Amino acid sequence: MTFKLFKALGTSAVIGLMATGSVWATECIAPANPGGGWDFTCRQIGKLLYDLKQVDQPVQVTNMAGAGGGVAYNYVVTERNDDPDLIVAASSATTTRLAQNAFAGMTADQVRFVGAIGADPGVIVVAKDSPFQTLKDLVEAIKADPGSVAFAGGSAAGGFDHMKPLQVLQAGGFTDIRKVKYIAVDGGADAITQTIGGHTQAMTGDMSETIGFLKSGDIRILAVLTDERVPGFDDIPTAKEQGYDVVAVNWRGLYVPKGISDDQFNAWAEKLQAVADSAEWKQIMADNGLAPFTKVGADFQTWIDGVIADTTEMSKEIGVIQ
């Protein structure tokens, strides 16, 4: 382990590493401060990797916040490119930012995406008294009059929440997506409040943000953007079964340095699959509102490549990037 690594991690992190008894234990970088989704991914997956004997020492979690994941990404690419003992938490936000060149010229092919083993499903939501009873009702209304429907979402314009209804509309044959109204607010709860209050006609976000409002009867979920219906919410149809072939989930997973060997990459894929298959991980998903979503190894990398290409194209269409 180089001096540059110690400097990047900071004194407290180095002491924590040394306290484990070895600086060569697996390290998981969470590209944000403690308490968020990436931190959750590192801590929960890291714990199970050790509990399930996939690694022989406890996994060291290092929080490396900055630039929406860009600081950690740059560090992995420039300082740890061939480290087989390093894993990094990632999500849909990671690929969206890469597709939109938000990491200062860095590209998605500078790391290897090893897998995702759970996801917060995307949803399209309306208020309980909305005239839109189905996803088709909503899509057809926008096709007839694009200005008649505004979506509220918790991400910035061009972010993941914004992309979800645009993907649905494109799948429904609507191509002039710049005309679709999107209002960015501070988080999913605010987006739902805007919709319940009639300030917007629909909300786009993650399912975990909507559960309380759904249980109180304030909203209806027109579609969940998953391959299959979400366990425990089996009355909510997917967009796919309504004729819109869109899967948009905020997946939780990992990437690894690009410079590791194929054998080392495949070994990480097998370890992550073992976590995904465990009863312990299934309980963690149930406790934290995650839906099943398992794509591991080369298949996941191929899927990521397609997602980034689609996001780049759509980002250009709406003017987020040139």
Residue 20 has pLDDT above 70, yes or no: no
Q: Is residue 322 part of a domain?
A: no
d(CA 37, CA 288): 11
Residue 32 and residue 71 in one domain? yes
Domain count along the chain: 2
Q: What is the CATH number of the domain that holds 41?
A: 3.40.190.150
Mean pLDDT of the chain: 90
Q: What is the CATH number of the domain that holds 222?
A: 3.40.190.10
Three-state SS across the chain?
Answer: CCHHHHHHHCHHHHHHHHHCCCCCCCEEEECCCCCCHHHHHHHHHHHHHHHCCCCCCCCEEEECCCHHHHHHHHHHHHHCCCCCCEEEEEEHHHHHHHHCCCCCCCCHHHEEEEEEEEEEEEEEEEECCCCCCCHHHHHHHHHHCHHHCEEEECCCCCCHHHHHHHHHHHHCCCCCHHHCEEEECCCHHHHHHHHHCCCCCEEEEEHHHCHHHHHHCCEEEEEECCCCCCCCCCCCCECHHHCCCCCCEEEEEEEEECCCCHHHHHHHHHHHHHHHHCHHHHHHHHHCCCEEEEEECHHHHHHHHHHHHHHHHHHHHCCCCC
Q: What is the pLDDT of residues 27-84, one digit of tens each?
A: 999 999 888 789 999 999 999 999 999 999 999 999 999 988 999 999 999 999 999 9
Residue 235 and residue 129 in one domain? yes
Residue 169 and residue 280 in one domain? no
Confidence band, pLDDT 50/70/90 cuts, at residue 283: very high
Confidence band, pLDDT 50/70/90 cuts, at residue 288: confident
Residue 232 has pLDDT above 90, yes or no: no
Supply the pLDDT for residue 24. Answer: 58
Phi, psi of 119 (to 5 degrees): -155, 150
Residue 322 has pLDDT above 60, yes or no: yes
At 165, list the tokens: 């209804």
Note down the domain range covering 38. Answer: 3-119+250-317
Q: Is residue 172 part of a domain?
A: yes
Ranges 95-104, 208-217, 230-239, 268-277, most confident: 268-277
Taking residues 157-162, what's their average pLDDT?
89
Residue 3 has pLDDT above 50, yes or no: no
Supply the pLDDT for residue 71. Answer: 95
* Strand 219-224, strand 111-127: pairing: antiparallel
Model confidence pTM above 0.85 = no
- 12 vs 227, which has greater pLDDT? 227
Supply the pLDDT for residue 11. Answer: 37
Supply the pLDDT for residue 7. Answer: 38
- 208 vs 53, which has greater pLDDT? 53
Which of 221, 242, 263 terminates a domain? The answer is 242
- 289 vs 7, which has greater pLDDT? 289
Residue 114 and residue 126 in one domain? no
- 251 vs 19, which has greater pLDDT? 251
Torsion sign (Cα): 36, 38, 44, 50: negative
Supply the pLDDT for residue 36. Answer: 79
CA distances for 241 relative to 74, 221, 229, 244, 246, angstroms: 40, 14, 9, 7, 10
Which of 188, 217, 242 terminates a domain? The answer is 242
Residue 23 and residue 62 in one domain? yes
Which of 216, 242, 268 terminates a domain? The answer is 242
Residue 18 has pLDDT above 70, yes or no: no
Residue 122 has pLDDT above 50, yes or no: yes
Residue 125 and residue 98 in one domain? no
Residue 41 and residue 142 in one domain? no
Supply the pLDDT for residue 127. Answer: 98
Residue 139 and residue 203 in one domain? yes
Residue 93 and residue 185 in one domain? no
Q: What is the pLDDT of residues 258-277, one digit of tens each?
A: 999 999 999 999 999 999 99
Residue 4 has pLDDT above 80, yes or no: no
Residue 107: how many CB atoms within 10 A of its CB? 12
Supply the pLDDT for residue 15. Answer: 37
Of all residues in the chain, the percent with pLDDT exceeding 90 is 73
